[in-house]
Structure 1
Amino acid sequence: MSKVECGIYTMCLVQDGDKVLLINRPASKGFPGYLGPGGKVDLAESFTEGAVRELWEETGLVVKPEDLIYKGVDEYLVPEKNYRYMVFNYLTRTFTGELLTDPPEGELAWIDIDDALQMPMQDWFKRRFPLFFESGTFEISVVWDETKQCIIEEKVRRLG
């Protein structure tokens, strides 16, 4: 069996009442549109530590690992490249701090949860977004055909 390369990332949505904090990411940063804060987990940190750090770096908000609610994993498999891209997803309703005035990834906005899916966003985030607010956890697995640039298999499971 050949070696599989893995990329490990996190995403953490912040909920305040009926609103959620999203980043309106410009096209120049890649993945344009509204999405949640997150990014790559560093080698020496846990998934929750990565989520806490990324949230702080991208928004200025401070959360503790114990205040994160684990919501699920989203993975993308690219067989032609032997690559597996995994995103560990969290939600928090407990935070301190002030939003950054000049955030690095794009404009920060508190959006009504019920209206969020009407905002421009990537299809992969639109599929995942409602699952953050359901009970239990989720598992999403997507197999990507690099040659044809399309999804060849997709599974969405609600767990617990």
Structure 2
Amino acid sequence: MYKYTICFIQRGDKILMLNRENPVWMGIWNGVGGKIEKGETPLEGVLREVKEETGIELDHAEYKGTVTWSVDDSYIGGMYAFVAQLPETYDYYTPIKTDEGILDWKDISWVLHPENLGMANLKYFLKTMLSDSHTYDHRFKYRNGEVIDFKSEILDTTIFL
């Protein structure tokens, strides 16, 4: 079991993004999420984290797979990834300063723009998560802080969350 979750909250053609204030991804835009607490399922953990970080109380998030990584052939980690849909009429005004950083709605085209250097490595997998009905393991291999390999593989959907 992995330690972390991440959720991409979509409202129409926008995604609620968090510009993280603390390391490891300080100053980088990413989805919301965090550590799974003892006794929680990944789904319970992501719903709690979304509420804590945004104040939004979701009743559902769709499991979209995992994002896993190895760093310098020594450390291996991963997180469970989810997508949640809000109605376009859902009122949530941004930007908002939180303990975690700054929340803001960003156009999906801006998030996925190839020249956007302020994003976590979402350009590798977010489009697939938003548009493909399959669940995937998106695997990164890092060396000296750089992505040296990335692969996606369809996961067995019998995982229980």
TM-score range with shorter-chain normalisation? 0.7 to 0.9
The alignment yields a C-alpha RMSD, in angstroms, of 2.8
Mapped pair 1:76 → 2:74: no
Shift of 1:131: 2.1
Selected match of 2:118 from 118, 121, 126: 121
The match for 1:142 is 140
**Count of residue correspondences:** 149
| Residue matched to 2:81 | 89
TM-score (norm 2): 0.76
Per mean C-alpha deviation after superposition, the further-off stretch among 70-79 and 116-125 is 116-125
Residue type of the alignment partner of 1:35: N
Q: Which residue among 12, 22, 30 is the counterpart of 2:24? A: 30
Question: What's the counterpart of residue 132 of structure 1?
Answer: 129
2:38 paired residue among 34, 39, 43: 43
Give the direction of change, closer, same or farther, for the CA distance of 1:77–1:117 in structure 2 (3 Å limit): same
- 2:22 counterpart of 1:10: no
Moved more, 149-158 or 135-144: 149-158
Question: 1 or 2, which has the higher helix percentage?
Answer: 1
TM-score calculated relative to the size of structure 1: 0.76
Task: Mark the runs of 5 or more structure 1 residues left unpaired by the alignment.
Answer: 1-5
User: Percentage identity across aligned positions?
Assistant: 27
Structure 2: give runs of 5+ residues left out of the alignment: none
Is 1:155 paired with 2:148? no
